[in-house]
Structure 1
Amino acid sequence: MALKRVLKVGLDSAAPFPMHSDYNSERFEGFEVDLLSAIAKHLDFEIQYEVSLWKKILGKLFKGELDLICSAVTMTATRKHILEFTEPYLHFRLCAVVPANDVLINEVKDLKEKRVGVRIAAEAERHVHTKFPDANMVHADTNKELYHQLELGEIDALIDDSPIANGFLQKNDKLKIGLFLPGTDSQYAIAMKKGDVELKNQFNEALKLIRENGTYDVLYNKWFFGMNF
């Protein structure tokens, strides 16, 4: 009996619900956990997660220390130069999360000169740096730190991916999405080492099958029912 191929999969150490739960939690779960399990089952692969901070994870993949990352990786033109990406599996936008009683941040221009929280090395960090150079950026390693800082009033807003923001806000009525940032339509895809085309093609085939047989819709509704991206 042939041994299954083991894939080393990079995971953010503070992986954001509902994409992933923290790997060290008692219940490791999330949309991407289920999605990757379905793909691995179809391809007869075994998944082995390796946990690290987000700011280090892309570098590990680039150096070949990981086989792939399936942890809310935004597919960008810059990243496509150095990595392979599967077909996208989720569309979303960036959004500004603010206190529930905030009435001052309703438009993009309202973020000017505000204390805006971003996660280090996330696409939101690059966007804020480019679009809101006057903002007072506050950086953190994890989303959990940012949401906590916002609750304490240490920052005025935070910029996050809409699926992740929705996940946090499901359990927090002290915060809300103030606005979706225009021109930030984005996609998550599974990232792989540059040149790993055979594996990418296998994953794309599995993703196509999962969409066609209804598995994708079941997983989507399980994790994102009623959410606005």
Structure 2
Amino acid sequence: MKQVLKIGLDSAAPFPMHTDYQSEVFEGFEVDLLRIIAKSLDLEIHYEVSLWKDILEQLYRGELDLICSAVSVTPSRMRILEFSDPYLQFRLCAVINQKDHLDDLSKLKNKVIGVRAAAEAEKYMLKHYPAYNLKHLDTNREMYEALLQGEIDLLIDDSPIAGGFLKKHKALKIGTFLPDTDTQYAIAMKKGDLKLKSKINGVLHTIRKNGVYQQLFAKWFTQIQL
């Protein structure tokens, strides 16, 4: 019998990492990646969908086996969780309307800035621009809709996720990339789950060596600026 892993999935569906699990077609870079890992390790995966602000705590409490849903590797998270080798590098960026111009975040003190609750973008803004007017939203869809409707002046997001939304919403663009925000996504696991971590790293190493990773990257990130 195959080992079953409970995989935490962000309900906000950060495409192209993955789409909404309840949608007609569930797909994305991380969906393909996990499918390859599961096949290679003879695992069966069951997805558990949660709000992002809850999902890391669920993993820490042992309610999930791992998360592969645009999890940024940070020093604070590494103290309480295990991480696989990174599978994607990216930056934080500011998304604005096509008609607007932005080259310096220091000029935005009187603007309303959208961020996702508990995301690294939110933490970055709270640390570097604590006096700014932030609007905290639970999902990507809410955040981008707020920008399109003029409820916020701009939003801060991970560049892969921003790229996915910009392909859909041509009225928006990346205004600038935030300085010193080079970050990586990796698969998060329970602290001490070293055997599973080693097996997953083995698969990641293999697909980079045999070209499968490069094929996945080209499939999902063509024309997306990371």
> Scaled by the length of structure 2, what TM-score is found?
0.98
String of CA shifts for 1:4-44, please: whole Å, max 9, x gaps: 11110000112111000000000000000001111111111
Report SS of the residue matched to 1:170: helix
What number of residue pairs does the alignment pair up? 226
What amino acid is aligned across from residue 9 of structure 1 in structure 2?
A: I
Q: What is the aligned counterpart of 2:106 among 87, 104, 109?
A: 109
* TM-superposed deviation, 1:183: 0.2
Tell me what 1:77 maps to.
75
Q: What is the aligned counterpart of 1:170 among 156, 167, 170?
A: 167
Preserved CA contact (<8 Å) 1:92 1:185: yes
Query: Deviation above 4 Å: which 4+ runs of structure 1?
Result: none
* TM-superposed deviation, 1:112: 2.4
What amino acid is aligned across from residue 175 of structure 2 in structure 1?
A: G
* TM-superposed deviation, 1:197: 0.7
CA distance in 2, matches of 1:113, 1:183: 23
* TM-superposed deviation, 1:111: 2.6
Aligned pairs (5 A) from 1:51-130: 51-103=49-101, 105-130=102-127
Tell me what 1:204 maps to.
201
CA distance in 1, matches of 2:168, 2:155: 17
Report SS of the residue matched to 2:224: coil
List gaps (5 residues or longer) in structure 1. none
* TM-superposed deviation, 1:106: 1.8
CA distance in 1, matches of 2:204, 2:41: 11
1:20 lines up with 2:18 in the alignment = yes
CA distance in 1, matches of 2:32, 2:187: 14
* TM-superposed deviation, 1:198: 0.7
Tell me what 2:131 maps to.
134
Identity %: 62
Q: What is the aligned counterpart of 1:181 among 178, 181, 198?
A: 178
* TM-superposed deviation, 1:228: 1.2
1:31 lines up with 2:29 in the alignment = yes
* TM-superposed deviation, 1:171: 1.1
* TM-superposed deviation, 1:173: 1.0
Preserved CA contact (<8 Å) 1:113 1:134: no
List gaps (5 residues or longer) in structure 2. none
> Scaled by the length of structure 1, what TM-score is found?
0.97
Q: What is the aligned counterpart of 1:156 among 141, 153, 158?
A: 153
* TM-superposed deviation, 1:174: 1.0
CA distance in 1, matches of 2:148, 2:191: 40
Tell me what 2:48 maps to.
50
Tell me what 1:11 maps to.
9
Preserved CA contact (<8 Å) 1:111 1:132: no
* TM-superposed deviation, 1:108: 2.2
String of CA shifts for 1:28-85, please: whole Å, max 9, x gaps: 0000000111111111111110001101100000000000000000000000000000
